[in-house]
Amino acid sequence: MISTANMISTAVGGIDTLRLATAGSVDDGKSTLVGRLLHDSKSVLADQLEAVEHASRSRGQDAPDLALLTDGLRAEREQGITIDVAYRYFATPRRRFILADTPGHVQYTRNMVTGASTAELAIILVDARNGVVEQTCRHAAVAALLRVPQVVLAVNKMDLVGYGEKEFDRIVEDFAGHAAELSLPGFTPIPVSALAGDNVVERSAHMDWYTGPALLEFLEEVPVGADPADAPARFPVQYVIRHGEVRHYAGQLASGALRVGDRVTVHPSGETSEITGIDVLGTGVAVARAPQSISVRLADERDVSRGDMITAGVGVPVLTKEVRAAVCHLADRPLKVGDRVLVRHTTRTVKAVVKDLAGAAELTANDLGRIGLRTAEPLALDDYATSRRTGAFLIIDPADGTTLTAGMVEL
C-alpha cells in the first residue's frame, strides 16, 4: 500500500498535477500498464470495468483485459491498435495525473512528439524478453528532443523472464548507453509486470533485489517542474481587453515572474514601459508567475497587440527572421525546401519560407530533422533547451491550415 502519511504538497491551495506521456507498443503491454495504473489507483469505476469484463467475455477471454479500458475508437478496437493520442485522468490522494497515452508503432512518432510536448515525465516501456529495440531508441530520442524533464524506463513482463535481476540489469545498461548518446539527462529504471501487477502500484513480492519505488510511488514523488525562480519573464500577449480608457494586456505567463513596477520591453517594437498593475482574473496582485493567466497594465500608451511579447529583467529573447530548429514532421504531405508556410510561435503567426532541411530534399511524416526558415516578420525566440514554451513553434500550411511540422528552436 502507498503510504499517504506526510502529505506535503508544494502546490498552493491544494494538490498539484503531473503531466506524463507513455511510449511503447501494444506488444510491450502498454495498454495493460496504463489499464493497471487506472485500475489499481481506483480510477476505474464499476460501469467502465463492467463494460471491459463484458467485452473480454465476448472475445472469449477469461480475465478482464485491462487494455480495453483505453482503446477508444472503433477502428482501434477492430484492429487491436491505438491510432491516436488519448488522454487519461487518474488521481491519488497525493497528486493528480494527466496521462498522454501515445501509440508506439514507428509510424506514429508524431503522436509521441505530441504527447511529450506537454509532459513533465515520459514512461518508456520495454519488453523484458526483447530488451532495448530500435523503437525504444526512437522513444528515447523523442523524449530527449522534446526535453521531457524526467524519463522512466519501465521494463515490463518481468514475470516472463523469471523476475531475474540479471535480465533487468542488462537492459538498463543497454539503455544507459543509448541515453548517453542522445544526451538524455537521466532516467529511472523500474522492473514491472503490468499483467501481474508487480511494481506498478504495489511493490512486488517477486523482486526483493529491487529496492526502489513502485511506478506509481515514483510518479507521486517526482518533483513537478515549476520553472526556475530566475527564469526570464516571458509574457506573450494573447488579447487586449479594453475597458473604458484602460487597456489590459491579457495572456498566460510562459516563464518567469512579473511584478508591479518592473521595467518591461515589448517585442518586436523594442519599446519600453513599466508595469502599473497586474490582475489574476479580476484580483489585483503584486507578482505573478508562470503559468498563470493574467492581465497587465502599462504606464505608457503603447501600441501593444496580440502576437507581441513582453519581457522583463535580464536575458532578452533573440529577435530574428532567421530561424534554425530541430523538427518533427507531422503531416502526411511532405515539407520541401522552398515551401511557403506559416510559423506559429506563442501568440504570433508569421509568413515564412523553408530555406533548408539540413541536406534533406524533403521531410515526410514522422521524420525527425533540422530546418532553416526565413520569416517575413521578426520573432522573439528563446532556445527550446531553456524554454519549452517560447522555444517551440508550429509550421502550418497556409492553404488549408493543416499543422505540418513541430519545431524546437536552436539558437
Partner 1 sequence: MTGAAVTGSVLSHLDALESEAVHIFREVAGEFERPVILFSGGKDSIVMLHLALKAFTPAPVPFALLHVDTGHNFPEVIDYRDRVVAAHGLRLHVASVQDYIDRGVLRERPDGTRNPLQTLPLTEKIQSGRFDAVFGGGRRDEEKARAKERVFSLRDEFSQWDPRRQRPELWNLYNGRHAPGEHVRVFPLSNWTELDVWQYMAREHIELPNIYYAHQREVFRRGDMWLTAGEWGGPKDGETVEKRQVRYRTVGDMSCTGAVDSDADTIDRVIAEIAASRLTERGATRADDKLSEAAMEDRKREGYF
Q: By C-beta, is 205 or 303 nearer to partner 1?
A: 303
C-alpha distances (whole Å) from 410 to each of 167, 232, 279, 322 are 38, 18, 34, 11
Q: By the 8 A CB rule, do 346 and 407 touch?
A: no
Q: Kindly tell me which of 72 and 177 has the beta carbon lying closer to partner 1.
A: 72
Q: Residue 379 in contact with residue 392, Cβ under 8 Å?
A: no
Task: Give the distance, in angstroms, between the CA of residue 27 and the centroid of all CA atoms in the same chain.
Answer: 23
Element (DSSP H or E) covering residue 78: helix 74-79
State the nearest-atom distance from the C-beta of 118 to partner 1, in Å.
6
Residue carrying C-alpha cell 491516436: 84
Least Å distance, CB 357 to partner 1, is 20
In whole angstroms, how close is the CB of 204 to partner 1 at the nearest point? 27
We find the least distance from the C-beta atom of residue 46 to partner 1, in angstroms, to be 4
Check: CB of residue 389 under 8 Å from CB of residue 146. no
By beta-carbon proximity to partner 1, the closer residue of 45 and 180 is 45
Tell me whether residue 146 or residue 195 sits nearer to partner 1 (CB atom).
Answer: 146
Q: Nearer to partner 1 by C-beta: 292 or 320?
A: 292
Closest distance between partner 1 and the C-beta of residue 114, in Å?
5
Q: How far apart are CA 149 and CA 18, in angstroms?
A: 12
The answer for 44, left when phi > 0, alpha when psi is -120 to 50, beta otherwise, is beta
| Pair 260, 280: CB distance under 8 Å | no
Which CB atom, from 7 or from 51, has the smaller least distance to partner 1?
51
The residues facing 393 across adjacent strands are 345, 407
Least CB distance to partner 1 at residue 128 (A): 28
What's phi and psi for 280, nearest 5 deg? -100, 95
Residue number, 130 or 286, with CB nearest to partner 1: 286
Q: Residue 119 CB, nearest distance to partner 1 (Å)? A: 11
